[in-house]
Amino acid sequence: QNAPDVTKEVLKELEKLGVNVFLATEFKSFFGSADHIEYCDIENSLENSDIVITVGGDGTFIKSAKESAEKNKPLLCINAGKLAYLAGLENSELSFLGDIVIGNYKTEKRMMLSATIIDKNGKILYHSNCLNDAVVSRSGNIRIMNLSISCNNAPLMDYSADGVIVSTPTGSTAYS
C-alpha cells in the first residue's frame, strides 16, 4: 500500500473513534472533506493537535520528528510500506489507535541534535534540529575544510576533513 491509501484508512479509523483531525491544507485534494477533518496550515495543525501521526516510512518519521519536537508533541509513525524501523504501528494495526485515544500508550524519548554552522566571523550560516544525523560537507569541488566542532558550546576538536557526520543513536544504525 502507499501513504495516501493508508492515510485514508487511518482517517476512517479516527472518525470511528470520534477524533478531530487537523491536516495541512495541501492534503485536501487527496482526502476531501469530512466532518472530523479540519484543514489548516502545518503550523496550526501542530499547535492544535495532541499527537502527531505520520504515515510513511522512516524518512517521513525523521522529517516529522523535527516539527513535532519543536511543538513538544508526541509522534506516531504508521508504516505505509514494506519496512520502517521507526514506525510505531503497521498499517494492519490501526485498531490500536483506540488505545491512543484513551491514553493507553507509552512514549519513547529519543536524543535529537541541534546543529549550527557558524563561519569564522561568527555568522550563523545554517541551523536545524534533527533526529538521526547532521552531515556537513562541501558541495561542488571536494576539498579539505578546517572544522571546529563543539558540543554544548564547549570546544570538542579541530580537524581538517572533507566533511563530518554526527549521529544520534537513532541515526547510527545506518552507519554501523
Structure confidence at residue 14 as a pLDDT band (50, 70, 90):
very high
Residues forming beta bridges with residue 55, ordered by sequence position: 78
- Band of pLDDT at residue 154, cut at 50, 70 and 90: very high
Q: Which residues have CB under 8 Å from 23's CB, separation 6+?
A: 31, 37, 38, 39, 40, 45
Q: How far apart are CA 7 and CA 30, in angstroms?
A: 10
What whole-number distance in Å separates Cα of residue 75 and Cα of residue 87? 10
The residues carrying an active-site annotation are 58
pLDDT at residue number 176: 43
Residue 94 has pLDDT above 80, yes or no: yes
pLDDT of residue 1: 59
What's residue 140's pLDDT? 74
Give whole-number Cα distances, 11 to 7, 41, 151, 155, in Å.
6, 18, 42, 48
152 vs 1: which has the higher pLDDT: 152
Per-residue model confidence as pLDDT tens digits over 116-131 = 999 889 999 999 888 9
What mean pLDDT, rounded, does the chain reach?
88
